[in-house]
Structure 1
Amino acid sequence: MASVDISLKEIMTSIEGALGAALVDYTSGMALGTLGGGKDLDLAVAAAGNTDVIRAKTRTMEHLGIKSDIEDMLITLSHQYHLIRPLKGRDGNGLFLYLVLDKGKSNLAMARHQLKRIEAELEV
């Protein structure tokens, strides 16, 4: 099992094109850990904003009677991919991994695969 810091470091080093990553509590909107980002990518602001995305999708699924779990959510921008992956299991309830990728330098399928693998090893 890996700690939050180790998992974020692994995301940034093993996923090609990673620009920033965070572990976020979507009940509060607070980032429990961040790595990367910069002046053009404020991960604390992104964490809080994407909390609203998770809440809205969860609420919509409830209204529609959809009983499925969200594996991940993808937001595609001109030059970036933003991946939101709610954590599964008892330790991850209410948390999600957030990953920002450079669209020109990343392989989305591999990034999703790696993020799933890292999530499985994460101990919160």
Structure 2
Amino acid sequence: MDKIVSHKDLVAWQKAVTLACKVYAASRQLPRDERFGLQSQLRRAAASIPCNIAEGSARRSRAEFLQFLYVARGSLAELETQYTIINRLALLGDAGATLEEIAHVGRLLNGLIRSLVTSGRTAHARACTPTVRRSAAP
């Protein structure tokens, strides 16, 4: 695996940007009476996901990064709820496919979170493990 240099190297960020672009394009097709309410909520939630991944990755600590990933996951849940409503009301034709993409981004985010939590525990365990000193040879 290549080294992660910036948020742009994270697959979760890449897929979240793709999802946000799709949501922006699809929201143009909403009925006129939904354009100022639901459209703006959809766009805000969709853009929040990659933005929080990017901001978190630029922070100094793993804990801060995790906090921003949790916020991104919250925005993803909000977007999923909005798309579930859209799907049930049949406001957009591709809502089902978008729900699948949302689930995929969710799996990527959860994997990234799990990776950071696990590596943090491993690092903590290594730091707390007593080292055995060997006596010098006589």
TM-score in same-fold range (> 0.5): no
Q: TM-score, normalised by structure 2?
A: 0.27
Q: Which one has the bigger helix percentage?
A: 2
* Larger gyration radius, structure 1 or structure 2: 2
Q: Which one has the bigger strand percentage?
A: 1
Q: Which has the higher contact order (CA 8 A, sep 6+)?
A: 1
